[in-house]
Amino acid sequence: MIENNINPDQLDQDQFENSFKTGTTTVGIIVNDGVVVATESKATGGYFIASKQAQKLFEINKFTAATIAGGVADAIYVINQLKALSRLREVKEGKIPEPKYVSSICRNILFSGRSFFQVLMIISGFSLAENTGKLYGVDLLGTYYEEDKFISFGSGSPFVLGLLEADWKPGMTIPEGVNLVTTAITAAKERDAGSGFALQICSIDKNGFKKLS
């Protein structure tokens, strides 16, 4: 969790760095048939374990999921907005919005707040238009970028990214991807005090969102 006590009107470098005292690990990887996304379930408040069953992985629509790292209240607000706006778009257009649309909406919400929402999010999914998996990262300032291999946020991300740099390969299958993110999250749980307990994993391919654990 992020400590939500900064003044967004007086955000300096020290405040920005201090705001990232997250206690979580989130990860998404590209695989041959789509994406695999994972996180763990520990929620912390400082040194206190607030929950062992915190939900950090959310289905936005049939082809898009999101993970959260940061302030829980802020994150849930943004998640609910993304679900509602995705559904409205689906009703209006008659088709499920692409992951890029959802990630753009997320970026607009966080950019308009400019550090008001203390959250970092991975938006991932399968693009029917491009027939491929998609990974996007959005931070609390609205910084937006697309990754073509993998992405990780949270206090456990240094452990995850080191492992992914060594072991991620193009053309991995979904089962191979599940094994890789399981190993990555487990490594973070072993060495990061802010990460722990149950794994939350999903895959998204041309058939849609599938919860795996």
Which residues carry out catalysis?
24
Q: Measure the CA–CA gap between 106 and 34, rounded to whole angstroms.
A: 21
CA triple 183-125-57, angle to 5 deg = 55
Backbone angles phi, psi at 188, to 5 degrees: -65, -40
Which stretch of DSSP H or E encloses residue 5? none
Q: Measure the CA–CA gap between 102 and 85, rounded to whole angstroms.
A: 8
Sign of CA dihedral 135, 140, 141, 142: positive
Strands 144-147 and 57-61: unpaired
State both tokens at 129: 């238009």
Residues linked to residue 126 through DSSP beta bridges, in sequence order: 133
Instruction: For residue 26, give the nearest of 73, 75, 66, 60 by alpha carbon.
Output: 66
State both tokens at 171: 């053309």
